[in-house]
């Protein structure tokens, strides 16, 4: 593909040159420039092999495991059809985990979007000087720079019954240990950790909106809200859709933060599909059931991935 | 050479180089197989464990150097990592048949590895080596065969913050449940964020069930298993202990945040002087002293049920050792096991680990040098090491299942009997 493109550019770079005279030598000469027909395959071979080894093979293996009675811990696992799927789907904890994951994901993504949009508009405001903008940009992006382990430790300390938050509020709330508050608390932590990604992407989008559009809207008598609704939002729409779909996929798979803050508890109030799957594999050593749960998550993620790819195609 | 042949060779070269590069890249991260013989006929033993990072720098390597000096022709390659990484590495190795020759084991993994055929029958290896096992303090067996030998043991006595207890008018560490309840309530009554007792129940690491809940059962000579080794959590011993802990919870004597609290949080709260009493590993004595040199604390045996005068079970955790069934050097691997379990080496290792020896003849140095350790050693010798989770299938999952039901109980969602019946049912399903 690259060579073909180069050829086209070379041809178009000399529009006034006479077209080459067709001769019997044109075919081999063209082949010489393009190299051997097998050469493109050699170029994509490393990527293809990597994809095969690191993606296709593990996915196929996991799908295969989900139809066996138990793998890895059993020397001769047997095919059991959809038995594992029935067991996982009828497990009450799985239903709880699915509900929690939906709540956690939807609330997180909506909050990421609103906070990201809000902060990006503040940073993009002409009222803010360039120096202040740079300083605030660093401050706002900080949560995104921390790894999940650091975020978990930080918030566990802040939300400890004897921690800073309770000290400031003069309260003794068990933020992460109370069954009625834990899911909200981990969702809040995830919102705090993830909004900068939206903010940076939307800020880049805002900076790319031509000033003419706002000027034209102002001339037409549009007020601030109307300019936001009819100029800013439509211009940001492609970014918002892409980011929302990606964030839905990522957040629904969040594991480290949940595991290191609550471990899926108290009871099962913060159990997510990811922690449910992890426990099946590394606590019960039921690798076939864990594979089944992973396949179900894969299918759910593929629905989101389908919409993402379709949106990207429509953009292209 | 024709043009076509030249092109073909060039393509093959490019393809070959690409595939070789990718294959090299893809396999670079994979660990070496357990076949570890070197070219000159010497045997290289891989030893995967989490012990080295927990010991003073270079101390464990020194022991291995001693072993190598005593056994020319055998070299030990230490594969060290944190506990959790070692666990995952061993499970991956067991599945792939590439487990290291010698492995550090937790009692909770033994049943699964043994049933999987990943670790070797040590009874057989002992027989082949004419090894006298009379000095071993304990052996972890599955179906009558030994699969793990505890190298050193970390016992879990009761720690008391003596200043807090004195402030609350408690003159001596409690010895029975009634005294413990009174002391815990008195300390909790001091206010200022102080609590009588601390109980970590995190579902991420549910070992609080073993160390902080079941310890009450074992301290009174009770059991959570029946005579056949099957779950029996509805018996009177467990019921009484669970009712007792629930009572402390209802009294408000337990530190807040229990449902997501982990062992390290427990130690931190005690070290900061906010908790009157905790059940914890002896291994944390130095950590507590370093973190808060002013903390005035002591250790004592776990309180037993009122009127109990039998031998008390004291919870413990072990650094166990085993040999991979896939090892091609089992005889050499067992020599390393023998070396670590010898009186001299075991004394040294238990001294640097601040743990109690797995060899009954060994005596660690710290027992003579440190009053707290001397007390602990006395408690250890007066009771018996008790940890019924060791050797059970999916031991961690059993703790987690108990923990889940226990949290529902403490949250007021069910009665003690309902909790124990549900736990019994869940445990039976795992056996």
CATH number for the domain spanning A302: value is 1.10.3720.10
pLDDT score of A29: 56
Find the mean pLDDT for residues B379-406. 88
pLDDT the model gives residue B62: 94
Residue A99: which domain range?
Answer: 86-315
Neighbours of B38 (CB within 10 A): 9
Indicate if the pLDDT at residue B401 is higher than 90: yes
Give bridge partners of residue B275 from the DSSP assignment.
B195
Q: State how far the Cα of A100 lies from the Cα of A275, in Å rounded to an integer.
A: 11
Nearest CA in chain B to A265: B203
Confidence of residue B17 (pLDDT cuts 50, 70, 90): very low
Residue B353 has pLDDT above 50, yes or no: yes
**What pLDDT score was predicted for residue A231?**
94
Q: How far is A305 from chain B (nearest CA, A)?
A: 27
- Asked if the bond preceding A266 is cis, omega within 30° of 0, the reply is yes
Which of residues B90 and A33 earns the better pLDDT score? Answer: B90
C-alpha span between B100 and B97 (Å, rounded): 9
Scanning A37-129, the segments in alpha helix (DSSP H) are: 39-51, 57-65, 83-89, 92-124
> Closest partner residue to A267 among B19, B205, B408, by Cβ?
B408
Looking at residue B8, its pLDDT comes to 52
| Cα A35 from Cα B118, distance rounded (Å) | 53
Please indicate, yes or no, if residue A226 is contained in any of the structural domains: yes
Using an 8 Å CB-CB cutoff, list chain B residues near A50: 22, 25-26
Residue A45 lies in a domain: no
**pLDDT (mean) for A159-166:** 92
Tell me how long chain B is.
431
- Confidence bin at A305 (pLDDT 50/70/90): confident
Neighbours of A233 (CB within 10 A): 12
Q: Does A172 touch chain B (CB under 8 A)?
A: yes
Q: Quote the percentage of chain B above a pLDDT of 70.
A: 90
Which phi and psi (to 5°) does residue A95 adopt? -65, -40
Give yes or no for A128 touching B (CB within 8 A).
Answer: no
CB contacts, 8 Å: A53 with chain B: 22, 26
- Asked if residue B266 has pLDDT above 90, the reply is yes
Within a domain: A247: yes
Quick one: CATH architecture of B158-300+394-430?
3-Layer(aba) Sandwich (3.40)
Residue entry with tokens 């166990």: B320
Chain centroid to Cα B336, Å, comes to: 21
* ipTM for the assembly: 0.73
Residues in chain A: 316
Highest-confidence range of A237-246, B96-105, B236-245, B368-377, by mean pLDDT? B236-245
Q: What is the mean pLDDT of residues A223-239?
A: 93
Cβ(A291)–Cβ(A66) below 8 Å: yes
Hey, which residues 64-123 in chain A have their CB within 8 Å of chain B?
72-75
Per the domain annotation, does A69 fall within a domain?
no
What is the domain count for chain A? 1
User: Chain B contact for A278, CB < 8 A?
Assistant: no
What pLDDT score does B72 carry?
93
Chain A interface test: which of B87, B205, B259, B411 (most A C-beta within 10 Å): B259
Kindly report each contact of residues B170-174 with a partner whose C-beta sits within 8 Å and lies 24 or more positions away, as own/partner: B170/B276, B173/B277, B173/B298, B173/B300, B174/B277, B174/B303
Bridging pattern class, strands B140-142 and B145-155: antiparallel
Identify which has the larger pLDDT, B85 or B235: B235
Cα–Cα dist A260/A149, whole Å: 7
- Whether residue A80 lies inside any domain: the answer is no
State the best of B203, B275, B400 to mutate against chain A, taking most chain A CBs within 10 Å. Answer: B203
For residue A287, being part of any structural domain is answered with: yes
Our CA-based measurement puts residue A159 at a distance from the nearest CA of chain B, in whole angstroms, of: 10
Instruction: Find which of B191, B204, B326 to mutate to test the A interface (most A CBs within 10 Å of its CB).
Output: B204
**What CATH class does B43-154+317-380 carry?**
alpha beta
Q: Output the pLDDT for position B4.
A: 53
Q: What is the pLDDT of residue B41?
A: 57
pLDDT at A290 over 90: yes
The span from the CA of B392 to the CA of B111, in Å, is 6
Q: What percentage of chain B exceeds 90 in pLDDT?
A: 58
**Residue A250 forms part of a structural domain:** yes
3-state secondary structure of B154: strand
Separation CA A211–CA B99 (nearest Å): 64
B86 band by pLDDT with thresholds 50, 70 and 90: confident
pLDDT of residue B366: 80
Inter-chain residue contact B430 with A283, CB threshold 8 Å:
no
- Give the Å distances, CA to CA, from B115 to A164, B326, B391: 48, 14, 11
B48-60 core/surface letters (b: 16 or more CB in 10 A; e: else) = bbbbbebbeeeeb
Tell me what percent of the residues of chain A surpass a pLDDT of 90.
61
pLDDT band, residue B30 (cuts 50/70/90): very low
Count the Cβ atoms, other than its own, within 10 Å of residue A77. 17
Place of tokens 């000159």: B40
Give the closest of B94, B193, B259 to A265, CB-based.
Answer: B259
Q: Which residues from B are below 8 Å from A182, CB to CB?
A: 259-260
């Amino acid at each position: 593909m690259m060579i073909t493109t180069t050829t086209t550019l070379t041809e178009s770079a000399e529009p006034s040159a006479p077209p080459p005279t067709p001769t019997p030598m044109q075919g081999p000469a063209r082949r010489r420039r393009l190299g051997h027909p097998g050469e493109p395959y050699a170029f994509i071979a490393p990527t293809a092999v990597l994809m095969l080894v690191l993606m296709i093979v593990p996915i196929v293996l996991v799908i295969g495991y989900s139809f066996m009675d138990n793998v890895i811990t059993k020397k001769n696992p047997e095919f059991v059809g959809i038995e594992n799927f029935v067991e996982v789907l009828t497990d009450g904890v799985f239903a709880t985990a699915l509900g929690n994951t939906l709540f956690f994901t939807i609330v997180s993504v909506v909050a990421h979007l609103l906070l990201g949009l809000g902060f990006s508009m503040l940073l993009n405001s002409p009222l803010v000087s360039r120096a202040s903008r740079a300083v605030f940009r660093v401050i706002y992006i900080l949560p995104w720079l921390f790894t999940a382990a650091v975020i978990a430790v930080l918030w566990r300390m802040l939300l400890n019954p004897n921690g800073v938050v309770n000290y400031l509020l003069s309260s003794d709330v068990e933020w992460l240990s109370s069954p009625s508050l834990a899911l909200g608390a981990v969702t809040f932590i995830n919102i705090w950790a993830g909004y900068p990604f939206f903010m940076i992407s939307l800020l880049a989008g805002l900076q790319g909106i031509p000033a003419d559009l706002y000027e034209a809207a102002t001339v037409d008598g549009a007020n601030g809200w109307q300019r936001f609704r009819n100029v800013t939002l439509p211009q940001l729409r492609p970014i918002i859709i892409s980011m929302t779909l990606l964030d839905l996929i990522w957040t629904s798979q969040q594991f480290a933060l949940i595991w290191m803050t609550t471990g899926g508890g108290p009871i099962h109030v913060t159990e997510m599909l990811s922690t449910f799957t992890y426990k099946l594999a590394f606590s019960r050593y039921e690798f076939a059931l864990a594979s089944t749960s992973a396949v179900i998550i894969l299918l759910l993620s593929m629905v989101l991935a389908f919409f993402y790819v379709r949106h990207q195609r429509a953009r292209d | 050479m024709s043009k076509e042949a030249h092109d073909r060779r060039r393509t093959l070269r490019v393809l070959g180089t690409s595939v070789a590069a990718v294959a090299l890249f893809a396999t670079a991260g994979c660990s070496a197989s357990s076949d570890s013989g070197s070219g000159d006929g010497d045997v290289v033993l891989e030893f995967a464990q989490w012990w080295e990072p927990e010991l003073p720098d270079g101390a464990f390597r020194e022991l291995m150097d001693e072993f190598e000096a005593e056994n020319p022709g055998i070299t030990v390659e230490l594969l060290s990592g944190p506990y959790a990484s070692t666990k995952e590495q061993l499970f991956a190795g067991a599945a792939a048949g590439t487990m290291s020759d010698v492995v550090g084991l937790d009692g909770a993994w033994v049943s699964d590895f043994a049933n999987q055929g990943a670790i070797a029958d040590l009874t057989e290896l002992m027989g082949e080596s004419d090894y006298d096992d009379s000095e071993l303090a304990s052996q972890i067996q599955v179906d009558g065969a030994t699969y793990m030998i505890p190298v050193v043991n970390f016992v879990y006595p009761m720690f008391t913050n003596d200043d807090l207890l004195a402030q609350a008018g408690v003159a001596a560490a409690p010895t029975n449940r009634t005294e413990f309840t009174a002391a815990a309530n008195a300390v909790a009554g001091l206010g200022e964020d102080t609590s009588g007792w601390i109980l970590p129940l995190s579902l991420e690491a549910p070992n609080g069930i073993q160390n902080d809940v079941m310890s009450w059962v074992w301290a009174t000579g009770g059991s959570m298993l029946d005579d056949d080794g099957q779950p029996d959590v509805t018996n009177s011993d467990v019921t009484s202990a669970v009712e007792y802990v629930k009572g402390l919870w209802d009294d408000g004597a337990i530190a807040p945040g229990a449902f997501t609290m982990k062992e390290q949080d427990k130690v931190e709260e005690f070290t900061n002087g906010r908790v009157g009493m905790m059940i914890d590993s002896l291994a944390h004595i130095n950590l507590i002293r370093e973190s808060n040199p002013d903390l005035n604390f002591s250790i004592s045996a776990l309180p037993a049920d009122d009127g109990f005068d039998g031998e008390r079970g004291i919870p413990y955790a072990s650094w166990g050792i085993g040999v991979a069934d896939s090892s091609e050097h089992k005889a050499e691997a067992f020599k390393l096991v023998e070396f670590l379990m010898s009186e001299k080496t075991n004394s040294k290792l238990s001294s640097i680990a601040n743990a109690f020896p797995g060899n009954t003849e060994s005596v660690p140095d710290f027992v003579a040098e440190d009053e707290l350790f001397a007390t602990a050693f006395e408690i250890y010798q007066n009771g018996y090491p008790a940890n019924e989770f060791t050797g059970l299938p999916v031991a961690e999952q059993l703790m987690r299942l108990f923990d889940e039901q226990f949290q529902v109980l403490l949250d007021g969602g069910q009665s003690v009997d309902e909790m124990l019946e549900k736990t019994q049912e869940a445990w039976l399903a795992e056996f």
